[in-house]
Amino acid sequence: SQTIHQWPATLVQPVGSPLSLECTVEGTSNPNLYWYRQAAGRGLQLLFYSVGIGQISSEVPQNLSASRPQDRQFILSSKKLLLSDSGFYLCAWERLGEDYGYTFGSGTRLTVV
């Protein structure tokens, strides 16, 4: 079956610390993968998307980076977190073909203190 996993579910990190959020997809190959952020009081914002290994496109300049080291793995990182990085982060997988749509991970609630 096709599934998407995202972890951790919650994270509290101090300002200036590094960040690594991981997303993996099972049951499909060469997926299009996305990282979104939902900041408090705001809508969902696309951060990065990737159409293949090593291919990353950034939509918004920010304190974050993304990497795609394997076909079904997408990682969101930061070297030094800011308070403004707090939010709800969602990984998504774009399903192509007849069943076109997006499947989201369960999300990570990040609080930077």
Partner 1 sequence: GNSVTQMEGPVTLSEEAFLTINCTYTATGYPSLFWYVQYPGEGLQLLLKATKADDKGSNKGFEATYRKETTSFHLEKGSVQVSDSAVYFCALSDLGGGSQGNLIFGKGTKLSVKP
**What residue ranges bind partner 1 (CB under 8 A)?**
6, 32, 34, 36, 38, 42-46, 49, 51, 57, 59, 90, 92, 94, 96, 100-107
Pick 14 or 61: Cβ nearer partner 1: 61
Q: How far is the CB of 101 from partner 1 (least distance, A)?
A: 6
Write out the two tokens for 75: 């990682």
Which position has the token pair 């192509």? 96
Pick 11 or 46: Cβ nearer partner 1: 46
Residues 96, 48: Cα–Cα separation, whole Å? 18
Q: How far is the CB of 16 from partner 1 (least distance, A)?
A: 28
Pick 4 or 112: Cβ nearer partner 1: 4
Residues 36, 48: Cα–Cα separation, whole Å? 7
Least Cα distance to 6 among 75, 67, 70, 80 occurs for 75
Size (the chain), residues: 113
Q: How far is the CB of 76 from partner 1 (least distance, A)?
A: 15
